[in-house]
Amino acid sequence: MYYFRHNNSRHGRSGMRILSVKGPGELEYLEGNSPEPSEGQVVVRVNACGICGTDLGIYRRGETEYPYFGHEFSGIVERIGCDVKDLQVGDRVTTGLMGSCGSCKPCQLGHPNFCQEMKDTLYPGGFAEECLVRHSRGCILLTRIPDGMDDITATLHEPLSCALRIVQRASPGSGDTVLIYGLGTMGVLSGILSKRSYSVKTLIGVDINASRVKRAEKLGFDFVSCVDLTRIEEFIRVVGEPDIVIDATGMSAAFPRVMGVARLGGKIVIAGVPEDFVELSLLPIFRKELTVLGAKGPFPYLSPNGGSIVLELLGTGDLPVHDLVGVFSFDKAREAFHAVSDGTVLKGVLAF
């Protein structure tokens, strides 16, 4: 998670609009001071910010004290701290983990997405006209947007890196059948990457929301179904047992069911953030010799020249951005959150 504690930064200029959570399912616009960068900090004037599942959870639960709101954003470098050397005022940038300290235990274990330096990194978040971002040797969260890429497409940099982490943890083969359970942003992006980058044999999508199911079918899923937890096993008996199940629901109650549909020796990847608890029997893991993996993004996938592999992937134009994204003006945030919540829009993006 990225956040700044409020007392870690100086605040000077006034008049900045900030989108905030007022209560469960309620948003409001506040006016606050623009942040001023200190050492290892950059102020970004936000041009667009995507609605993440984390943001949606904050909105639904009404978490008014959450330390930041919005983190999938693109914009222009407005002001920089004195020691920032690799960015300049006027650079177009987007968020996404690009570098970690490399020396803490998680980094040494090959998990830079758990770097201990990744703290105090955003304030007040991307749903504000300006956002303070930590940009130091120990934590790099900004990268330049390539020429020719628009701000809306660039907001997908962070979520697509999360989806790539999911699929790489799943490590599907070209002959595999992959079931995606939960067809929100992470589920759909994971499915697209599985099909286009890993050439899986069969891609199955399941969700309880008819709009999400219809969208997945349009985006190239081989089999889709709008079924609830109690009927998923019946559906799988028709289409065949998956080699890999990606649980992108964020619901702990889904896990016992996906254990039941995975094949003998199959893999389950927990890709959604489980926000509740469930009692379950571990016997199916033992009886079926299942492999259970977690996948937490974002992850710094870097090209040999130090650039972002995910930005390069977005730059190819192969990703159907217009089918994935619904763009709303900053003044229409309530409509955007509602559309994402009810499934009529997959990835809502607020444009400033």
Q: Are the beta carbons of 250 and 181 closer than 8 angstroms?
A: no
Q: Within this chain, do residues 24 and 137 fall inside the same structural domain, yes or no? A: yes
Peptide bond just before 300 cis, omega within 30 deg? no
Q: Within this chain, do residues 13 and 148 fall inside the same structural domain, yes or no? A: yes
| pLDDT at site 14 | 58
Q: Within this chain, do residues 107 and 27 fall inside the same structural domain, yes or no? A: yes
Q: How far apart are the first and last CA of the chain?
A: 24
Q: Within this chain, do residues 146 and 206 fall inside the same structural domain, yes or no? A: no
- Structural domain includes residue 30: yes
| pLDDT at site 307 | 92
Give the three-state DSSP class for 176: coil
- The CATH number that applies at residue 265 is 3.40.50.720
Q: Within this chain, do residues 150 and 199 fall inside the same structural domain, yes or no? A: no
Q: Are the beta carbons of 73 and 95 closer than 8 angstroms?
A: yes
- Number of domains observed in the structure of the chain: 2
Beta-bridge partners for 162: none
Q: Within this chain, do residues 22 and 59 fall inside the same structural domain, yes or no? A: yes
| Beta pairing, strands 16-23 & 26-32 | antiparallel
Q: Within this chain, do residues 102 and 204 fall inside the same structural domain, yes or no? A: no
| Beta pairing, strands 130-136 & 122-123 | antiparallel
Provide the residue range defining the domain that includes 235.
Answer: 168-294
- Structural domain includes residue 95: yes
- Structural domain includes residue 304: no
Digit-by-digit pLDDT tens for the chain (352 residues) are: 444 444 334 444 557 999 999 999 999 999 999 999 998 899 999 999 999 999 999 999 999 888 889 999 999 999 999 888 889 999 999 999 999 999 999 999 999 999 998 877 899 999 999 999 988 888 899 999 999 999 999 999 999 999 999 999 999 999 999 999 999 999 999 999 999 989 999 999 999 999 999 999 999 999 999 988 788 888 888 888 999 999 999 889 889 988 989 999 999 999 988 878 888 899 999 999 999 999 998 999 999 988 999 999 999 988 999 899 999 999 999 999 999 999 999 999 999 9
| pLDDT at site 229 | 76
| pLDDT at site 6 | 42
Q: Within this chain, do residues 193 and 152 fall inside the same structural domain, yes or no? A: no
Where is the domain boundary, 294, 311, 333?
Answer: 294
Where is the domain boundary, 294, 309, 339?
Answer: 294
| pLDDT at site 150 | 96
Q: Within this chain, do residues 284 and 327 fall inside the same structural domain, yes or no? A: no
Could you identify the residue written with the tokens 């094949």? 263
Q: Within this chain, do residues 180 and 87 fall inside the same structural domain, yes or no? A: no
Q: Are the beta carbons of 133 and 121 closer than 8 angstroms?
A: yes
